[in-house]
């Protein structure tokens, strides 16, 4: 029995609005790697951010997520179908997908059960890609305040799976013929409100709030706003982006 570790359904709306988007070049590159562009499966698709990006390159895309709340708010596209189901128990047909993707979610899965599904669903020479982004950087002053939240306040509230993210997924078993991927910069242009909203989407922030009844972002918000300056001023936010790609 798969146990769904749901850290995001309770704040699906803010997650949808505040999370960064993925590099567009990533999806074009994956489409070129796939044996064809008939069907892509986006596992644990959440709000459909990666799903709709794949829809620009594939004839059909199926996005699946165990959270009905996330699927309800997922972005619609004519060539995208969403299904509420765990990645470890897929309803996709055998040898049906040319590409299987997991964006910022592989660390939550039961690996053996999920990989068995990937091998079943992928076509011959099909491609599997999983990516994650870890800590972000803005500038020295803001990073210092953000790190106080990341380490000092919410550090004990990060789920143990966070270690896989911090390691860039390099410690995960990867039963595919690995393909060396180019670097894809992950960058956003945000004002102070957007950055603060993003901090509130962290699973550790939500776990801290649930445990203590207090929003930890509020404890650093005044200091961060002061360091940011004009709240409408747009700053560049950069993440450590990690990608693993392999062929069946």
Average pLDDT, the chain: 94
Residue 127 lies in a domain: yes
1 within domain boundaries: no
Q: Which residue, among 167, 246, 185, has the nearest Cα to 21 in the 3D structure? A: 185
Predicted local confidence at residue 8, as pLDDT:
46
Structural domain containing residue 226: 9-247
pLDDT in tens, 14-60: 666 888 999 999 999 999 999 999 999 999 999 999 999 999 999 99
How far is the C-alpha of 135 from the C-alpha of 110, rounded, in Å?
A: 24
- Give residue-wise pLDDT tens across range 215-246: 999 999 999 999 999 999 999 999 999 999 99
Task: Determine the pLDDT at residue 36.
Answer: 98
Please check whether residue 46 lies inside any domain of the structure. Answer: yes
Mean pLDDT confidence for 85-93: 97
Distance (Å, whole) CA 65 – CA 84: 5
* pLDDT for 7: 42
What percent helix, strand, coil does the chain show, rounded to 5?
A: 40, 25, 35
- Residue 76 dihedral angles phi and psi, to the nearest 5°: -80, 150
pTM over 0.75: yes
The answer to whether residue 4 is domain-embedded is: no
Split at pLDDT 50, 70, 90, the class of 2 is very low
Other Cβ atoms closer than 10 A to 218: 11
The whole-number pLDDT of residue 134 equals 86
Q: Please report whether residue 22 resides in a domain.
A: yes
Query: Is 3 among the domain residues?
Result: no
Structural domain count of the chain: 1
Contacts of 21 (CB under 8 A, 6+ apart): 49, 53, 188
Per residue in 94-144, pLDDT (tens digit) is 999 999 999 999 999 999 999 999 999 999 999 999 999 988 999 999 999
Whether 91 maps to a domain, the answer reads yes
- How many Å apart are CA 195 and CA 247, to the nearest integer? 36
Asked whether residue 1 carries a pLDDT value surpassing 70, the answer given is no
> Could you read off the pLDDT of 193-217 as tens digits, one per residue?
999 999 999 999 999 999 999 999 9
pLDDT of residue 15: 62
User: Distance of alpha carbon 124 from its chain centroid, rounded?
Assistant: 26
Q: What is the CATH number of the domain that holds 101?
A: 3.40.50.150
Task: Please report the pLDDT score of residue 4 as a whole number.
Answer: 46
Task: Classify residue 84: in a domain, yes or no.
Answer: yes
């Amino acid at each position: 029995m798969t146990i769904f570790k749901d850290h995001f359904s309770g704040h699906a709306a803010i997650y949808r609005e505040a999370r960064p988007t993925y590099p567009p070049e990533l999806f074009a590159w994956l489409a070129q790697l796939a044996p064809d562009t008939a069907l892509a499966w986006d596992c644990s698709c959440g709000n459909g951010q990666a799903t709709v990006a794949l829809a620009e390159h594939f004839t059909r895309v199926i996005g699946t997520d165990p959270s009905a709340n996330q699927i309800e708010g997922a972005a619609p596209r004519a060539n995208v179908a969403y299904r509420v189901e765990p990645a470890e128990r897929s309803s996709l047909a055998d040898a049906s997908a040319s590409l299987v993707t997991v964006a910022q979610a592989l660390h939550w899965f039961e690996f053996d059960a999920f990989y068995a599904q990937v091998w079943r669903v992928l076509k011959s020479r099909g491609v599997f890609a999983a990516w994650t982004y870890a800590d972000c950087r803005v500038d020295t002053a803001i990073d210092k305040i953000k790190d106080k939240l990341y380490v000092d306040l919410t550090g004990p509230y990060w789920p143990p799976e966070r270690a896989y993210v911090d390691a860039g997924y390099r410690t995960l078993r990867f039963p595919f013929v690995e393909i060396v991927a180019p670097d894809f910069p992950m960058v956003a242009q945000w004002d102070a409100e957007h950055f603060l909203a993003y901090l509130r989407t962290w699973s550790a922030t939500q776990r801290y709030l649930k445990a203590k009844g207090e929003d930890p972002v509020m404890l650093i918000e005044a200091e961060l706003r002061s360091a940011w300056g004009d709240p409408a001023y747009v700053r560049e936010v950069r993440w450590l982006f990690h990608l693993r790609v392999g062929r069946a």
